[in-house]
């Protein structure tokens, strides 16, 4: 997921997204009640240039699900 949140702390935005998604998951699928939904942490990158933004979007779109596997 690539999110813009100018003027906000990246980890705070990540925390809020995870909290809202957790709430919806638990409302719709009770199997998630009372157990962890996410792994710890998350990755926040601060993008300053358009080239960096293009690289991050390409990674999320094409490569993220292949991390740790052979191409």
- The pLDDT score that the predictor gives to residue 70 is 59
pTM: 0.68
* Domain chopping of the chain, boundaries: 10-66
Q: Does the pLDDT value for residue 16 go beyond 60?
A: yes
Distance, in Å, from the CA atom of 1 to the CA atom of 4, rounded to the nearest integer, reads 10
Determine phi and psi for 18, rounding to 5 degrees: -60, -40
Rounded to the nearest integer, the mean pLDDT of the chain is 86
Per-residue pLDDT tens digits for 17-60: 999 999 999 999 999 999 998 887 777 888 888 999 999 899 88
18 compared with 67, residue with greater pLDDT: 18
């Amino acid at each position: 997921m690539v999110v813009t949140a100018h003027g906000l702390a990246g980890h705070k935005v990540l925390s809020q997204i995870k909290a809202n998604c957790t709430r919806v998951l638990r409302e719709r699928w009770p199997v998630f009640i009372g157990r962890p939904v996410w792994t710890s942490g998350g990755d926040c990158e601060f993008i300053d240039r358009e080239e960096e933004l293009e690289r991050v979007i390409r990674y999320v779109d094409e490569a993220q699900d292949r991390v740790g596997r052979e191409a």
